[in-house]
């Protein structure tokens, strides 16, 4: 399953960064786990030299334009993109 679109990356520190996301989530029945790989490309990347890279590793959220929210685990900065290592959507209430 893929998640694509515009949204906001909500970091633990409270920063909100607009951009686009693409995340592929696949189920591997042999290992009975989900494998996630993706990226979040910021509209206006901050000057990476001044960024605390730890902000882009660990737990965060993505607010999607369709109103849904996803919990993600970030894997740090790869070039001009932020790596997404895991994604779990919040069920509608």
What is the pTM assigned to this prediction?
A: 0.80
DSSP 79: T
pLDDT given for residue 53 in this prediction: 78
Q: What does the CA dihedral 62, 83, 81, 50 come to, rounded to 10 degrees?
A: 90
The set of residues, in sequence order, having a beta carbon less than 8 Å from that of 37 and lying 6+ positions away, is 23, 24, 84, 85
b or e along 55-82 (b: 16 or more beta carbons within 10 Å of the residue's beta carbon)?
bbbeebbbebeeeeebebebbebeeebb
Give pLDDT, residue 74: 94
What number of other Cβ atoms are within 10 A of residue 10's Cβ?
Answer: 18
48 falls in which pLDDT band (50, 70, 90)?
low
């Amino acid at each position: 399953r893929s998640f694509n679109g515009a949204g906001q990356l909500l970091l633990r520190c409270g920063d909100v960064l607009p951009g686009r996301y693409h995340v592929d989530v696949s189920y591997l029945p042999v290992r009975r786990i989900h494998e996630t790989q993706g990226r979040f490309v910021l509209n206006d990347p901050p000057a990476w030299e001044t960024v605390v890279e730890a902000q882009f590793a660990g737990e965060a959220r993505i607010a999607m334009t369709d109103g849904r929210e996803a919990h993600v685990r970030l894997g740090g900065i790869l070039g001009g993109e932020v790596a997404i290592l895991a994604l779990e959507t919040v069920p509608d209430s």
